[in-house]
Amino acid sequence: MSKSIKSFVAGTTLMLSSLPGAVHAEVQDDSLAAALSGGKANLAVRLRYEDVTQDNPLKDASAFTLRTRLGYTTAKWNDLNLMIEFENIHPLGSEDYNSGPGVFSATNGNSAYSTIADPTGSEVNQYWLGYSGLPNTQVKLGRQRLILDNARFIGNVGWRQNEQTFDGLNIVNKGIPNATINYSYLTRSNFIFFNNFEMSTHLLNIGYSLSDSHKLTSYAYLLDFDKDGAARRDTKTLGGRAAGAFPMDGFKVLYALEYATQADYADSPSTVDADYSLAEFGIGLKSVTAKVGLETLGGDGTYGFQVPLATNHAFQGWADMFLATPATGVVDTYLNVAAAVPGIGGKLVVVYHDFKADQGSASYGDEIDVVYKRPITPNFGMAIKYADYTADTFKVDTRKLWVQAEYKF
């Protein structure tokens, strides 16, 4: 934990101990012991096979990996609780893949193979102190999972075996009716390759529910990395989102509209200047949902709109061709159809993407994605997933296949 976080923990502990109703541990040993022993454990075990084939000189890659996550959250004592969670990613069998550009055990040195971004390693995935003694407010201090809205800008990259977590302070307040105010000050991103990025980042997200079916969100994300670089540029992103559904007779009309602007911040140059937009509409039936969308991450040939703290795998195709936005931007026109599978159960999702440049409208390529997920029991499920990217002018043809099983409680 950084020095700033340690100082904040000490100050917060002193502040909380002075609040009305706060009682020192030595006075309430029994209650503290009950809180420590009466908490809740969590376990998630995910076994995954991944295969990657690319039309380039790299060797085809395949990986069997096992992700084990074990944690414990105490019960509350004087409105305080603690959480700690450990995580381990381990390969099973030969490592015929490049585990990615991480540090220490995260790099397996197999650069002749295509990348499968599930490196070997162990870490404390989460450790935080929670406080709920303020009216309508939840405070968390420490390392934690953070997902805002649909994770387009801030997310945990949950598809990868090693998820992204953040060190810092998070405050969620629901004191205003129908509104949620979410503020975070983050000092570090703990990324999927077991590499960490120090920063001084402010996140403000305000959501307001017009009804059970319609929500408005406004946000300001001020990212200041200690080392400003092309992949993690200091940025100021301001935006708003409206999403919801209009119930009809036997179906509903779905929509999501979003716009954001991104500018230079802290150490970034003035060339950091781009816009983001999303227009998505769909129809939802009892067992089938179909959506069509147009998402644009703007680019002017010098700079493309970046989202370094997002769950990028969930957007612009599962083949992960656009994890970093090219300088000419990306225009993604997509069709998403999801349906319950009769007879055998589970859910099938098919997505088609057409990718073009924002500047010049050059055709990058297109992609077809398919996933089938089926819960076997409330705690155990299986999935098979496939992505097929066909290149025109951007990168190379790429095919990826995943088969996985997961048990969790």
pLDDT of the residue at 228:
84
Cβ 75 vs Cβ 38: under 8 Å:
yes
**Res. 10: pLDDT tops 80:** no
Higher pLDDT, 20 or 409: 409
**Res. 21: pLDDT tops 80:** no
DSSP 249-298: SSSEEEEEEEEEEEEE-TT--TT-EEEEEEEEEEEE-SSEEEEEEEEEE-
pLDDT of the residue at 103:
55
**Res. 391: pLDDT tops 60:** yes
**Res. 273: pLDDT tops 70:** yes
pLDDT of the residue at 30:
54
Residue closest to 64 by CA, chosen among 90, 86, 101, 103: 90
Higher pLDDT, 66 or 227: 66
**Res. 129: pLDDT tops 80:** yes
Query: Over the stretch 87-124, which tens digit does the pLDDT of each residue have?
Result: 999 999 999 999 987 654 457 889 999 999 999 999 99
Least confident of 3-17, 63-77, 160-174: 3-17
DSSP 203-244: EEEEEEEEETTEEEEEEEEEE-BSS--SSS--EEEEEEEEEE
pLDDT of the residue at 9:
40
Average of per-residue pLDDT values in the chain: 92
pLDDT of the residue at 101:
78
Query: Over the stretch 296-319, which tens digit does the pLDDT of each residue have?
Result: 999 999 999 999 999 999 999 999
**Res. 340: pLDDT tops 60:** yes
| Phi/psi of residue 326, nearest 5 degrees | -65, 160
Percent of the chain with pLDDT over 90: 89
Two tokens at 219?
């946000």
Residue closest to 404 by CA, chosen among 363, 371, 359: 371
